[in-house]
Structure 1
Amino acid sequence: MGKIVFIDFDGTIADRGVIPPQHVEAVREARRRGHRIVLCTGRPRSLVTDQDRALFDGMVGAAGGYIEVDGQVLSDRRFPAALGARVVSILDAHDVAYILEAPDAVHARPSTPARIASLMHVDRDEASTGRTGLDILGALQVADDLKAVSFSKVACFDADLPMADVASRLPAEVGFLPSSLATLGERAGELHLAEVNKSVGMRLVAEHFGVDEADVVAIGDGYNDLEMLQEAATAVVIEGAPEPVLATADLVVPPPERSGLVDAFARLGLTG
């Protein structure tokens, strides 16, 4: 049996939301050679296209909260209703521009899409095409009251305080990570169930396929990749990643705009 490779999406396999053709071919070639390639992303299923999902043997989404293999859902972890409502109340109290991410949809308040577009300096009509990495704006479902929404994770883009301070006001069951979009600064971040991370999903998928621990590879570039990289027998990190992430690396490769995944797969012997 070959190796199993867990790959982050944004900034790792995808460049601004789009998987380069060279990366598509590298994944297909590795799979032809008998290796399992699994998408392991912070994005929910609802923000990964059918075409992109079809490229992989499976998907770990919501940074470990959602797992799907061969059309079978192995795990779908959501915030308990009372905890979710408490989180939403605190975020609203601090004027946070946030989205609630679930496998079937992403949800936001009516004012949020314009705030995100302004923060990211993009045209909302262009973003809705899904070719800019901001396809989230075209997928949002908006409502005034989000307290009853079921969700796996929260992406926060702006707040009246640094997001670490807002997170400190949340219940202990909620974990916090800096945003994977470093340009948004300290008033952005991600909220997740504290016991859920990418390594949780990674272990479940590896067990599902019966892959030995020594044959597990992880490739990533952000803070939400740390546990995944630490868990893997071989950790591959993208150039320019934060220092704590780079510290886990067995191998460092270029970013997706320079076809780094092609380099990684070749050096790991996945594509010959």
Structure 2
Amino acid sequence: MGKIVFIDFDGTLADRGVVPPPHAEVIREARSRGHRILLCTGRPRSLVSDEVRVLFDGMVGAAGAYLEVDGEVLLDRRFPAELGDRVRALLDAHDAAYILETPDAVHARPTTPARIASLMHVGQDDGSPTSTTGGDIVDALRVSDDLSTVSFSKVANFDANAPMSEVANQLQPEVGFVPSSMATLGDRAGELYLAEVNKSVGMMMAVEHFGADHADIVAIGDGYNDLEMLTDAATAVVIEGSPEPLLALADLVVPPPEQAGLVEAFARLGLTE
């Protein structure tokens, strides 16, 4: 087989939630030449549209807790019930604006959609750029006063009354934390995930499923939750302007999605020749 390529979504594949047409075209071209191309995202399946999913052979979702290949679900890890209760209680105590992510839906308390919309300038005509990414999150939310029965894979938090790193410290060692990929949200935002799960977990399970060699693994990303997959891939492709720890791993650095960086990456890797 050819290469097996894992591509992050926000800031790598997509520009503010929108996939540039040249990126879609180059993925189709690489797949037609026998390469396997998978989305590898912190987003749950429920926050990836059908139009995006059909571009790929499969997806690693929820930052490694979920794997789907050719329509078959191979991995679906959730927070244990007791730990999930602790996470919700702690976030509620810190007045957090959080969402619980599952493959089928994203869940939130009734006050959360408006807080997210305000923080991300969704629909505002105040000179701030409208956030497409924030809009698709808000539109997808299922709201309820009672989230106790939600079995979730990951938590995305957008605001709290304390820095999220301090909140997350109270959940160690079972729960890991990464800053939000949306840097404008500041230090009171971030993602909580099962500490033993990361994108590389789903990536390596997909590699085993396809019977691929390590030398054929390519990972492309731009955020802190891409560190493990970039470390474990044979070839690490990093987006310009990424945090320094990622750039230090890079075999190749390419422009961001608004400049169709994947087109350059695929050409330099020989995926479209």
Using the size of structure 1 for normalisation, the TM-score is 0.96
Q: Percent identity?
A: 76
Equivalent residue letter for 2:266: F
Q: Secondary structure at the match of 1:11?
A: coil
Match of residue 225 from structure 2? 224
Matched, 1:250 2:272: no
Q: What is the aligned partner in structure 1 of residue 159 from structure 2?
A: 158
Provide Cα deviations, 1:223-250, integer angstroms capped at 9, x if missing partner: 0000000000000000010111111100
* SS of match in other structure, 1:158: coil
5+ residue gaps, structure 1: 125-130
Deviation at 1:171, TM superposition (A): 4.3
SS at match of 2:22: helix
Match of 1:190 in 2: 191
Supply the AA of the counterpart residue of 1:238. Answer: I
Secondary structure of the 2:158 match is strand
Render the CA deviation track for 1:74-110: whole Å, top value 9, x for unaligned: 0000001111011000000000100000000000000
Matched letter for residue 39 of structure 1: L
| Superposed displacement of residue 147, structure 1 | 2.1
| Corresponding residue of 1:128 | none
Q: Deviations over 1:168-207 (max 9, x none)?
A: 1124211111111111110000000000000000000011
Where 2:150 maps in the other structure, the secondary structure is coil
Q: In structure 2, what residue type is equivalent to 1:17?
A: G
Stretch moving more, 115-124 or 145-154: 115-124
Alpha-carbon RMSD across the aligned residues, in angstroms, is 1.2
How many residues of Structure 1 are paired with residues of Structure 2 in the alignment?
A: 267
TM-score (normalizing by structure 2): 0.96
1:167-246 mapped onto 2 (5 Å cutoff):
167-246=168-247
Structure 2 stretches of 5 or more lacking a match?
A: 125-130
Deviation of the 1:132 alpha carbon? 1.4
Matches of 1:147 and 1:171 in 2, distance apart?
A: 21
SS in 2 for 1:133: helix
Within a 5 Å distance, the mapping from 1:127-142 to structure 2 comes to 132-134=132-134, 135-142=136-143
> In the alignment, residue 26 of structure 2 is paired with which amino acid?
A
Matched with 2:268 is: 267
Paired AA for residue 69 in structure 2: V
Do 1:85 and 1:148's aligned partners in 2 also have CA atoms closer than 8 Å? Answer: no
